[in-house]
Amino acid sequence: MSTQLLPGDVFMTRGHSFISRAIRVFTRTIGEKRTKVNHVGIIVSSGDYQTSKIVEALIKVREVRLWYGYGPPRKDDVAIYRPTNLTPEEIDIVVAEAREQVGKTYGFLKILGHFLDWLLLGAYIFRRLTQNGDYPICSWLVAHAFDKAGKRFGVHPGAATPDDIWDFVVDNPDKYKRIRPLTRLWQAT
């Protein structure tokens, strides 16, 4: 029996490339437990792992099938969490806002802002200066879409990292239900 994914589900990935590892290093703050994920996105259409569609920010924000991005031969680990504190109308807002970002160019300047704030021990200074929504990054896309529906991941949407979103959904089982643990998408759970 395959798992049914729903619009509004949040997926998070843990890649194994140099860039993925660097993102995990530079989004960890002093005293914080080890960062688990380096990328996030939103499920925008129902289906199983092979047929559901996602919106994510890579070089450009794109809408593709989850399987296309993370099925074999990809080796990224994928976790999926479902918000349980959203109304159907709020889910529609999240999905519409995510889709509104499709086609935009990735916000490389926002990544620089995250790095500079990391150098300042997590201060929210440079990320505040890069709030322009014309150039989204993955965590901004997800946090901004949920913020439009009145929900946050414990931080300002402009300050959110994949790790912040991971920590919030894992630490709030009353608001987010785990659908899939952090494993390769094509491995049985």
Q: Name residue 45's beta-bridge partners.
A: 53
Whether residue 88 is preceded by a cis peptide bond, meaning omega within 30 degrees of 0, is no
The topology (CATH level 3) of 10-106+137-184 is endopeptidase fold (from Nostoc punctiforme) (3.90.1720)
Domain-wise residue ranges, the chain: 10-106+137-184
Angstrom distance (rounded) from CA 184 to CA 177: 19
User: Whole-model pTM?
Assistant: 0.86
Q: Which residues of 122-141 are buried (b: 16+ CB within 10 A; e: fewer)?
A: beeebbeebeeeebbbbbbb
pLDDT digits (tens, 9 = 90+) for 28-60: 666 667 789 989 999 999 999 999 999 999 989
Closest CA to 38 of 136, 165, 174, 181: 165
